[in-house]
Amino acid sequence: MLTACSSADDDDTSPDSSADGTEGSSGEVVELTFQSWVPNIDQAVDAFNAAHDDVNVTLETVTAGPDGGYATMQSAVQAGNPADVAQVGYDAIPDFLINDALEDITDYVGDSADVFADWQWQTGVFGDRVYAVPQASGPLGQFYRKDIFDELGLAYPETWDDYYEAAKAIRESDSDRYIAAFAFNQAPWMIGLAEQAGASWFSIEGEAWNVDIDSAETAKMADFWQRLIDEDLVKIVADFSNEWNADIQNGDIVTWISGSWADAILRGTAPDTAGSWAVGAMPQWDAGESVSATWGGGSASVVLKGSENPEEAAEFALWLNSDPESVSILTSVGAGWPAIADTSQIESLQEDPEVFDFYGGQDIWDVFAESDANVDTSWTWPPLSSTLFSSLTDNVKAAVDAGEPIADAYAQTETDMVDALEQRGISVNE
Amino acid sequence: MRQQSRTRAARWIFITPFMVMFGLFFAAPIVYAIVQSIFAEKGSALGFGPPETVFVWFDNYSRAMSDEAFRESLVRLVQFAAILVPLMVVTSLTLALLLDSGRALWPRFFRVLYFAPYGIPGVVATLLWGFLYIPATSPVLEMLSTIGIEIEPLSSGGVLFAIANIALWVFAGYNMIILLSALDAVPAELYEAARMDGASAWGLIWHIKLPLVRSSIILVTVFTIIGTLQLFVEPLVLLPLTTAIDSNFTPNLAAYNQAFALGNPNLAAAMAVIVALLGMVFSFGFLRAVNRKGNRAW
């Protein structure tokens, strides 16, 4: 018994040392820590622990990634004391990779590619090596106050032209009421809108990056929102702020284009408006199309560099994001649209009275299933995405504040991004 | 002889804990920041390999200073200091003189009342004022609006004043206590003598009180200058509420952003060193300026 324990400890790095069977039978329990910001994800962790005798996972709740969680994770990697598994957005995976903060988990989970939607799986694959297990994406849809639309006799805006007309009607109906917030604080939202307009900001050509933020597609989208801002048809307010919360509760902001996980936020923010919301697909640039996009891609589980038990960590990441029971929990707590390819066995997607009742009985998952299928999967996240987010929100803020065209903000963001990449020694095609 | 060496040993015993703490928590971080500031992380090609740490001399400093947003943040800081420092000194001095005048009603009560905001953490104070600054949540703005006054504290024109107001609210009482204790220390005979010479209330303030608390006024001024340079919490908390504040609003915020959002601790270290140098230049510069004119003059 004693020898079995110590040999298992010593052999950590050899490839076959920690196969499930040997450790389970020796009675040794592998302790893992998992860092995430998803509310109530502890339910899925508990389910894992209940189903496994040989591995025990402890959840550490961290601040949402861009708000400090990523800094915590990367500092711990540098200090040599990281958590084993961490929640990382698809957009941030290249960032972690250039900082050498991720374990290569190809040997542990490489066979499971088929379990997941291909484009989501690919967000964790770089040069044939796997660095992340996808959890969920954030396909965009439009949450809207169906009761107010009905009251004003407005049809659901199928196109952006309809959206503009609806915005005018809504603005006229009440001096405090707007169709939407122009969320200057949300880079993923602005990026999602550009992505849906057909923009592709980053691509790899040869051994260097192409940066094309200031493109015709981006301009088309920016000009559209410029018109809404100029005509006072959207309210310039940060989403998730106190003012925005109040506006959502009061019905002063009546639509919200957001990721599938936003349903949990709406239910939490405005419980009194239950029954009056519904969800539709994003408005289209050309009638009859069904182009969609995501809110910052989605989220994955990674094994941080320096984890003492990378194999068990990778197995936990795989189980968390593919076991039907776990995925069902993740979906109902608002983690997003599951990354697994076959969602037919996910209980909470079939029937979830609490969710469906809030949306007047609508099965909102139909909308997001379709949206997810329509995402342009060629979108690529660059290294230094945090610089991209920060630069974009700063520039858009500055433009809005100064009353200058927001299109300029995108041009400035391109300049900033190219500078930042080159400063970091990363090649950019001019 | 033995006596002397024993005193020397005792001296070291008493001074060592301080030296250790000073070294660990003051000197070491500064040295570490300076070392960090002359290195950079460099990737290559697409960036997907592990980065390399490269010695870059003063590259981070020139990068910080050539960054327009960082330069603007320095200018903004000077503007902010120009608003806050005089306001702070005048306000805390006025409060102290009022409470010290002997005519104040319930001086002890008001002393505590003015000091109370200092006990509230900066984040909480800013959140509180944040509510009062937003039209949707502010009863004050709503009231003003009903009588025809429309103000937007968080617009780009007003935001520096809005932040100065928070700093004033939190720290004026604290500075007032410093000035008040200096006023308390003025011997009562001086007032008596002055009154017998026919000094008015104003004369008392101008010729006796102010000159005697001069060193405390200088202290309050230096504290406020240093506090101004460290401006961080208020803009960070207000940042999501307004388009007028971005992530480079103050130099400290810019350094924080580089370190924790943009993952460039080296550039952040260079920015921090620049802010520290500025702090030294401004506070020592001010002390020199007031001392050069001789002890009693203003």
Confidence at residue B6, expressed as pLDDT on a 0 to 100 scale: 81
Distance, CA of B296 to CA of B131 (rounded, Å)? 45
Confidence at residue A6, expressed as pLDDT on a 0 to 100 scale: 39
Please state the rounded mean pLDDT for residues A206-226.
94
The reply to whether domains A10-137+296-356 and A140-294+364-423 share a CATH topology is yes
Distance, CA of A373 to CA of A290 (rounded, Å)? 10
- The model's pLDDT over B143-200, given as tens digits with 9 standing for 90+, comes to 888 898 888 899 888 999 999 999 999 999 999 999 999 998 888 888 888 888 888 8
Give Cβ neighbours of residue B230 (< 8 Å, ≥ 6 apart): B252, B275, B279
Please state the rounded mean pLDDT for residues B223-236.
92
Please give, rounded to a whole number of angstroms, the shortest distance from the CA of B137 to a CA of chain A.
7
From chain A, pick out residues whose CB is under 8 angstroms from the CB of B49: 98, 100
- The model's pLDDT over B101-128, given as tens digits with 9 standing for 90+, comes to 877 788 888 889 999 999 999 899 999 9
From chain A, pick out residues whose CB is under 8 angstroms from the CB of B137: 242-243, 246
Please state the rounded mean pLDDT for residues A157-168.
96
For residue A425, is pLDDT > 70? Answer: yes
Confidence at residue B221, expressed as pLDDT on a 0 to 100 scale: 93
Distance, CA of A202 to CA of A205 (rounded, Å)? 10
For residue B45, is pLDDT > 80? Answer: no
Least confident of A167-171, B101-105, B237-241: B101-105
Rounded to 5 degrees, φ, ψ at A186 are -110, 95
CB contact under 8 A, A243 and B137: yes
Domains, chain B, ordered by start: 68-292 (1.10.3720.10)
For residue A253, is pLDDT > 90? Answer: yes
What CATH homologous superfamily does A10-137+296-356 map to? Periplasmic binding protein-like II (3.40.190.10)
Task: Return the exposure string of B143-175: e unless at least 16 CB atoms fall within 10 Å of the residue's CB, then b.
Answer: eeeeeeeeebbbeeebbbebbbbbbbbbbbbbb
Distance, CA of A143 to CA of B99 (rounded, Å)? 58
Please state the rounded mean pLDDT for residues A84-106.
92
For residue B296, is pLDDT > 50? Answer: no
Distance, CA of A200 to CA of A214 (rounded, Å)? 10
Domain map (residue ranges) of chain A: 10-137+296-356, 140-294+364-423
Please state the rounded mean pLDDT for residues A335-360.
87
Confidence at residue A15, expressed as pLDDT on a 0 to 100 scale: 42
From chain A, pick out residues whose CB is under 8 angstroms from the CB of B40: 423
Give yes or no for a contact between A62 and A88, defined as CB atoms under 8 angstroms apart: no
CB contact under 8 A, B47 and A398: no
- Write out the H or E segment, with its range, that includes residue A308: none
Please state the rounded mean pLDDT for residues B223-242.
90
Least confident of A10-19, B32-41, B126-135, B200-209: A10-19
Confidence at residue B94, expressed as pLDDT on a 0 to 100 scale: 94
CB contact under 8 A, A387 and B262: yes
Chain B interface, best mutation among A128, A130, A237, by max B CB count within 10 A: A237
- The model's pLDDT over A360-386, given as tens digits with 9 standing for 90+, comes to 999 999 999 999 989 888 888 998 888
From chain B, pick out residues whose CB is under 8 angstroms from the CB of A397: 243-246
Confidence at residue B292, expressed as pLDDT on a 0 to 100 scale: 67
Confidence at residue A78, expressed as pLDDT on a 0 to 100 scale: 86
Confidence at residue A1, expressed as pLDDT on a 0 to 100 scale: 35
- The model's pLDDT over A272-284, given as tens digits with 9 standing for 90+, comes to 999 999 999 999 9
- ipTM for the assembly: 0.79
Confirm or reject contact between B67 and chain A (CB < 8 A).
no
- Nearest-CA neighbor of B117 among B180, B176, B184, B179? B176
CB contact under 8 A, B243 and A184: yes
Comparison of pLDDT for A264 and A4, the residue scoring more: A264
Residue A27 pLDDT class (50, 70, 90 cuts) = low
Residue A98 pLDDT class (50, 70, 90 cuts) = confident
CA torsion A359-A365-A366-A367 (nearest 10°) is 70
Confirm or reject contact between B42 and chain A (CB < 8 A).
yes
Residue B298 pLDDT class (50, 70, 90 cuts) = very low
Question: Which member of B50, B240, B244 has the closest CB to residue A241?
Answer: B240
Q: What share of chain A is helix, strand, coil (3-state, %, to 5)?
A: 50, 20, 35
Give Cβ neighbours of residue A196 (< 8 Å, ≥ 6 apart): A140, A221, A282, A285, A291, A292, A293, A376
Residue B291 pLDDT class (50, 70, 90 cuts) = confident
Comparison of pLDDT for A236 and A4, the residue scoring more: A236
Please state the rounded mean pLDDT for residues A63-67.
81
Please state the rounded mean pLDDT for residues A291-317.
94
Confirm or reject contact between B181 and chain A (CB < 8 A).
no
Give yes or no for a contact between A86 and A77, defined as CB atoms under 8 angstroms apart: no
- The model's pLDDT over B270-290, given as tens digits with 9 standing for 90+, comes to 999 999 998 889 888 888 888
Nearest CA in chain B to A205: B46
Residue A136 pLDDT class (50, 70, 90 cuts) = very high
Mean pLDDT (chain A, rounded): 89
Comparison of pLDDT for A2 and A259, the residue scoring more: A259
Chain A interface, best mutation among B132, B250, B262, by max A CB count within 10 A: B262
Please give, rounded to a whole number of angstroms, the shortest distance from the CA of A387 to a CA of chain B.
5
Q: Tokens 């919301």 correspond to what residue? A: A277
Please give, rounded to a whole number of angstroms, the shortest distance from the CA of A347 to a CA of chain B.
37
Residue A22 pLDDT class (50, 70, 90 cuts) = very low
Comparison of pLDDT for A231 and A430, the residue scoring more: A231
**One-letter-per-residue 3-state SS of A37-80:** CCCCCHHHHHHHHHHCCCEEEEEEECCCHHHCHHHHHHHHHHCC
From chain B, pick out residues whose CB is under 8 angstroms from the CB of A425: 42-44, 47, 51-52
CB contact under 8 A, A68 and B63: no
Q: Six-digit token pair at A403?
A: 């009353």
From chain B, pick out residues whose CB is under 8 angstroms from the CB of A423: 40, 63
Chain B interface, best mutation among A235, A239, A242, A385, by max B CB count within 10 A: A242
- Nearest-CA neighbor of A257 among A276, A241, A240, A279? A279
For residue A9, is pLDDT > 50? Answer: no
Q: Tokens 């520096």 correspond to what residue? A: B160
Q: In sequence order, what DSSP letters do the residues of B60-78 get, joined into one string?
A: HHHHHHH-HHHHHHHHHHH
Confirm or reject contact between B43 and chain A (CB < 8 A).
yes
Confirm or reject contact between B247 and chain A (CB < 8 A).
yes
Please give, rounded to a whole number of angstroms, the shortest distance from the CA of B60 to a CA of chain A.
10
For residue A14, is pLDDT > 50? Answer: no
How many Cβ contacts (< 8 angstroms) between chains A and B? 110
Question: What is the percentage of chain A residues whose pLDDT exceeds 70?
Answer: 94
Question: Which member of A66, A246, A386 has the closest CB to residue B136?
Answer: A246
CB contact under 8 A, A243 and B259: no
Distance, CA of A126 to CA of A142 (rounded, Å)? 32
For residue A318, is pLDDT > 70? Answer: yes
Question: What is the percentage of chain A residues whose pLDDT exceeds 90?
Answer: 69
For residue A54, is pLDDT > 90? Answer: yes
What are the CA-CA distances from residue A398 to residues A230, A297, B240 (Å)? 15, 26, 13
From chain A, pick out residues whose CB is under 8 angstroms from the CB of B134: 242-243
For residue B201, is pLDDT > 90? Answer: no
Q: Tokens 């599938």 correspond to what residue? A: A260
Please give, rounded to a whole number of angstroms, the shortest distance from the CA of A53 to a CA of chain B.
36
In the CATH scheme, what is the code of domain A140-294+364-423? 3.40.190.10
Distance, CA of B265 to CA of A118 (rounded, Å)? 35
Confidence at residue B138, expressed as pLDDT on a 0 to 100 scale: 85
For residue A178, is pLDDT > 80? Answer: yes
Please state the rounded mean pLDDT for residues A104-108.
95
- The DSSP output letter for B157 is T
Confirm or reject contact between B66 and chain A (CB < 8 A).
no
Confidence at residue A172, expressed as pLDDT on a 0 to 100 scale: 96
Distance, CA of A180 to CA of A193 (rounded, Å)? 14
Nearest CA in chain B to A244: B136
Comparison of pLDDT for A206 and A303, the residue scoring more: A303
Question: What is the percentage of chain B residues whose pLDDT exceeds 90?
Answer: 50
Please give, rounded to a whole number of angstroms, the shortest distance from the CA of A283 to a CA of chain B.
27
- Which B residues, 144 through 173, put their C-beta within 8 Å of a C-beta on chain A? 156
